[in-house]
Amino acid sequence: MIGDSSAAVTAPGDASTDALTPALRALIATLRLRPRHALGRQGLGHHPSRNRGSGQEFAQYRAYESGDEPRQIDWKLYARSDRFFVREAERESPVRAWLLLDTTASMAQADEATPGFSRFDAARLLARCVFEIAQRQGDACGLVLCGGAGLSLVTPGSGPRQRDRLRHALVSAAPRGQWPEPEVLAPAWGRIVRGDLVIALGDFFDEAAVAQLERLAHAGREVITIQLLTADERDFPFADGRRFVEPEAGESLLGDGPGLRAGYLARFAEAQRLLAARLAAAGIRHATHVIDRSPSQVLQVLFGDRAR
């Protein structure tokens, strides 16, 4: 839903809109990806990754970041270099994560109050946060972009080069078109193996997108969904008459904002309730993020100490 046809397609922000602030980096240091399939067998897995600490085979040094514990610093190296470094060690990890990002046209929507920051910008920022969580754990993370441009895939990996690959893919992507047909998605779905963790970011207004996520969950892939909504969708603040445009199908509706508000909010709340129930029935963990809020809230819900 977009109020006023002139806003039907909003260009995504530049690379600066997905910058990680110091506060976000400090939060990321406290978060963990905890797949259900890995519970009860920590330290056992099918690929090596890096973990901070001692008692394991040394892998590499990395620069100290806000949120690291002082005991992780190599003080002997500090004495020689006058810089703080943290030791990373080799361990076995069961986590292999995929970021699945909706790049359909509706992701370009922005609020009237903040036209320079779209739903897609918020999704890219969250995607970077999730990858940084995996990066700090030393776990592999990949990316699947699904939209009108078809399918784009970055194979899971870790380390600075993988960070650059994912960032380049995110900055290069632009929302357009509709959700791809199942046969277009088949190559990516074949790469996501049983036991993998899939973190999907989108508005989930496409029935086909929700059905595909259900299929992944029923096939033994663990799925987490983060639904991104605009504040205008949440509040319907329009106080005048206007044309409302559906960005993917191009359909429009002329109407009076105040006259439509009550009915819209009731239908929207019911649609949200049904979506949450449907995803829960498929065993999918689900959270909603409204783009006028800090991403820290939804990250804490899904990946904080109290996450289930």
Summarize pLDDT for 13-67 with one digit per residue, the tens: 343 455 789 999 999 999 999 887 644 333 334 444 444 443 344 556 677 766 5
Q: Name the band, by pLDDT with cuts 50, 70 and 90, for residue 180.
A: very high
How distant, in Å, are the alpha carbons of 103, 120, 185, 210 from that of 182?
A: 15, 22, 5, 12
| Three-class DSSP labels, 98-155 | EEEEEECHHHHCEECCEEEEEHHHHHHHHHHHHHHHHHHHCCEEEEEEEECCEEEEEE
Output the pLDDT for position 82.
78
All structural domains of the chain = 2-39+94-303 (3.40.50.410), 47-91 (no CATH)
- Please tell me which residue, 70 or 152, carries the higher pLDDT value: 152
More confident residue, 268 or 45: 268
Task: Determine the average pLDDT of the residues in 98-105.
Answer: 96
Task: Tell me the average pLDDT across 65-83.
Answer: 74
Q: If you average pLDDT over each of 87-96, 105-114, 190-199, which comes out highest?
A: 105-114
What are the residues facing 62 on neighbouring strands? Answer: 86
Residue 94 confidence (pLDDT) above 70 = no
Look-up of token digits 């783009």 = 291
User: Average model confidence (pLDDT) for the chain?
Assistant: 83
69: confidence class by pLDDT, cuts 50, 70, 90: low
Please give the average per-residue pLDDT across 129-149, as a whole number: 93
For residues 131 and 24, the answer to whether their CB atoms sit within 8 Å is no
Q: Is pLDDT above 60 for 93?
A: no
% of the chain surpassing 90 pLDDT: 59
Please tell me the distance from the alpha carbon of residue 34 to that of residue 303, in angstroms, as a whole number.
7
pLDDT for the residue numbered 264: 93
Higher-scoring residue by pLDDT: 274, 83: 274
pLDDT digits (tens, 9 = 90+) for 143-167: 999 998 889 999 999 888 999 999 9
Instruction: Assign 74 a pLDDT band (cuts: 50, 70, 90).
Output: confident
pLDDT of residue 308: 54
Number of CB atoms found within 10 A of residue 287's CB? 16
Mean pLDDT of 212-226: 94
Segment 207-236 mean pLDDT:
95
